[in-house]
Amino acid sequence: MRTIHVDEISGAVARLVVEANTVLGADMLRSFDRSLASESSPAGRSVLIMLQDNARISREEGAAYCQDTGFAIAFVELGSEVHIAGGTLQQAIDAGVRRGYTQGFLRASIVQDPLYGRKNTGDNTPAVVHIEQVPGDHLSITMMAKGGGCENRSQFKMLKPSDGVPGVMDFIVGCISNAGPDACPPLIAGVGIGGTFEKAALLSKQALLRELGSPNPDPKLDELEKQALERANKLGIGPQGYGGDTTALAVHIRSYPCHIASLPVAVTIECHAHRHKHVEL
Amino acid sequence: MPTGSAPAPGTSPASAPRKPVRPPLSDADVASLRAGDLVAITGVLYTARDAAHALLIAALDAGQPLPFDVKGQIIYYVGPTPPHPGEVIGSAGPTTGGRMDAYAPRLLALGLKGMIGKGYRNATVKEALKTHKAIYFGAVGGAGAYLRKHIVKVEMIAYAELGTEAVRRLEVVDFPAIVINDCHGGDLYAAGQKQYQRA
């Protein structure tokens, strides 16, 4: 049994949330380059160039890429041979979020009560923590900073099994169309198919973590992703909704076994401020 | 680099031809702008988003004065990150305008001439833009680090307890925006999507 103290986890999380908010991933930067090469709308091109500038300024000056520095979501792989000492994972991650957001000049965007009073917690806690147990003695943490504007356009639908592939395709493209300019396109759609109501939603978030431009390991889903992306980019919404060819940068899908009666589909809408960083402890 | 030093000319789309906009705006200023026009705003903007709008409308309901005179002014829907030491403001891009739809017509009736945000406005707001001669501008959502460099001065005006959602008076130089909805019924989102949509 390996023991990891919560302080080590908090320190790592504090670093990850700052890095996620100030250093956009290389896969995202490459996707901006690819989009610029194909974007025919002048307004759309000017937006993409501004996003490249924004990423550079953010990295060089340590300034948040977007002022919405997001809901902190943790995806944890916890080895079965790991013992967490000094507290719980939730406590450790919250302490890291508190420190990273406060000391890193990131915005506090979380209210304590969603319905009554909506008072800001002041330090962007609590985090949403997803823990998956894996074999071995390693602990890996991916911190995602999830923006509110795009999250507001995420959707879930219980399709009928008879709706099949066309039904899923229509729903994905419909979600991107519905998100439109509100969700800060160019967008990424994370899609969870199968499982239960809550499992599909989690899959849709996990799907976002795959490297942009990498193929889906499942050839059938890879084909579905490509077709959905092609259809999304025919919508004409374009960068920021000003009209153009680049409405979405990617569609990423994960699936899971499901009930004989069901075909659940969840779509997490993610904006171009697609921020996530990973550490192995 | 301190906030306020705008990107060098020729390195950014901010250097593309842009119409200058200098608030306070008159009806004639507003009427001269059309959906799709790229603009560079220089002068004063007031910040307000969800929580501040609720308080502004509550003040009006209570017959109290607003913390600033909206006549001719532009409200920027933004909740900035805290400034780094030595800077005036943190990252400061627009938030979704549609969440202010419930409040905006009331402020437009009082003479507000512009709003800066991103995303669709509802039919009531678009109608109010025509009735009261006002503009809905779009700034590039998510370009917070870039846009902050066009903000040179920040002053807390009201509702400081709201933190990022407080009302601030900004001074901006060549702040890049685009006209989404004009006072003639023009709508960049509708026109742009129609132009680039493929079957």
pLDDT tens track for B119-147: 999 999 999 999 999 999 999 999 999 99
Domains, in order of start, for chain B: 20-196 (3.20.130.10)
Q: Are A8 and A137 found together in one domain?
A: yes
Chain A residues within an 8 Å CB radius of B120: 180-182
**The predicted structure's pLDDT at residue B16:** 60
Sign, CA dihedral B86-B115-A41-A210, equals positive
Chain A residues within an 8 Å CB radius of B98: 182
Residue A39 lies in a domain: no
Residues 6+ apart with CB under 8 A from B122: B98, B101
Task: From A91, A114, A146, give the residue that closes a domain.
Answer: A146
Task: From A129, A146, A163, give the residue that closes a domain.
Answer: A146
pLDDT at B28 over 90: yes
Sign, CA dihedral A192-A195-A201-A206, equals negative
CB contact under 8 A, B189 and A181: yes
Residue A49 lies in a domain: no
- The ipTM (two decimal places) reads 0.94
Q: Are A75 and A204 found together in one domain?
A: no
CB contact under 8 A, B197 and A235: yes
Residue A32 lies in a domain: no
Is residue A236 a contact partner of residue B193, using CB atoms and an 8 Å limit?
A: yes
Residue A34 lies in a domain: no
Is residue A126 a contact partner of residue A110, using CB atoms and an 8 Å limit?
A: yes
pLDDT at B12 over 90: no
CB contact under 8 A, B80 and A107: yes
Chain A residues within an 8 Å CB radius of B144: 54, 63-68
Q: Are strands A139-146 and A128-134 parallel, antiparallel or unpaired?
A: unpaired
CB contact under 8 A, A61 and B142: no
Task: From A119, A146, A173, give the residue that closes a domain.
Answer: A146
Total-model pTM: 0.94
Residue A48 lies in a domain: no
Distance CA B87, CA B154 (A): 10
CB contact under 8 A, A105 and B84: yes
Residues of B numbered 155-184 whose beta carbons fall under 8 angstroms of chain A's beta carbons: which are they? 162-165, 176, 178
Residue A60 lies in a domain: no
Query: Which of A49, A122, A244 shows the shortest C-beta gap to B196?
Result: A244
Q: Are A119 and A175 found together in one domain?
A: no
Q: Give the number of domains in chain A.
A: 2
**The predicted structure's pLDDT at residue A252:** 98
pLDDT per residue over A123-176, tens digit each? Answer: 999 999 999 999 999 999 999 999 999 999 999 999 999 999 999 999 999 999
Judged by a CB distance cut-off of 8 A, whether residue B8 touches chain A is no
Q: Are A102 and A229 found together in one domain?
A: no
DSSP readout, A107-169? ----BS-TTTT--B-SS-PPPEEEEEEESSS-EEEEEEEE-HHHHTT-EEEEE-GGGHHHHHH
Judged by a CB distance cut-off of 8 A, whether residue B38 touches chain A is yes
Query: Which of B142, B145, B164 shows the shortest C-beta gap to A107?
Result: B164
Chain A residues within an 8 Å CB radius of B194: 236, 243
CB contact under 8 A, A243 and B195: yes
Closest approach of B73 to chain A, Cα-based (Å): 23
Which of these, A252, A244, A128, lies nearest to A186 by C-alpha position?
Answer: A244
The low-confidence residues of chain A, meaning pLDDT below 70, are none
Q: Are A9 and A89 found together in one domain?
A: yes
Q: Are A155 and A127 found together in one domain?
A: no
**The predicted structure's pLDDT at residue B11:** 39
- Quick one: closest CA in A to B192, which residue? A243
Q: Are A87 and A203 found together in one domain?
A: no
Closest approach of B130 to chain A, Cα-based (Å): 21
Closest approach of A201 to chain B, Cα-based (Å): 23
Q: Are A227 and A154 found together in one domain?
A: yes
- Quick one: closest CA in A to B198, which residue? A234
**The predicted structure's pLDDT at residue B9:** 37
Chain A residues within an 8 Å CB radius of B84: 62-63, 105
Distance CA A27, CA A209 (A): 11
**Burial class of residue A35, CB neighbours in 10 A (0-12, 13-18, 19+):** buried
Q: Quick one: angle between helices A42-61 and A26-38, nearest 10?
A: 160
Query: Which of A47, A122, A152 shows the shortest C-beta gap to B140?
Result: A47
Q: Are A130 and A164 found together in one domain?
A: no
Distance CA A156, CA B124 (A): 28
The mean pLDDT of B36-54, rounded to a whole number, is: 97
Distance CA A159, CA A267 (A): 13
Residue A13 bridge partners (DSSP): none
E strand spans, A150-273? 155-159, 187-195, 248-258, 263-270
Judged by a CB distance cut-off of 8 A, whether residue B189 touches chain A is yes
Judged by a CB distance cut-off of 8 A, whether residue B199 touches chain A is yes
Residues 6+ apart with CB under 8 A from B78: A67, B47, B49, B92, B93, B94, B95, B116
Q: Are A157 and A250 found together in one domain?
A: yes
Chain B residues within an 8 Å CB radius of A182: 96, 98, 118-120
Is residue A179 a contact partner of residue A189, using CB atoms and an 8 Å limit?
A: no
Q: Are A158 and A245 found together in one domain?
A: yes
Domain enclosing residue A80, as ranges: 2-20+65-146
Residue A52 lies in a domain: no
Residue A40 lies in a domain: no
Percent of chain B surpassing pLDDT 70: 92
Q: Are A110 and A140 found together in one domain?
A: yes
- Quick one: closest CA in A to B78, which residue? A67
**Burial class of residue A59, CB neighbours in 10 A (0-12, 13-18, 19+):** middle
CA distances from B194 to A235, B125, B139, B183 (A): 9, 21, 21, 20
Chain A residues within an 8 Å CB radius of B91: 58, 63-67
Please give the interface size between A and B, counted as residue pairs whose CB atoms are below 8 Å apart.
182
Confidence of residue B17 (pLDDT cuts 50, 70, 90): confident
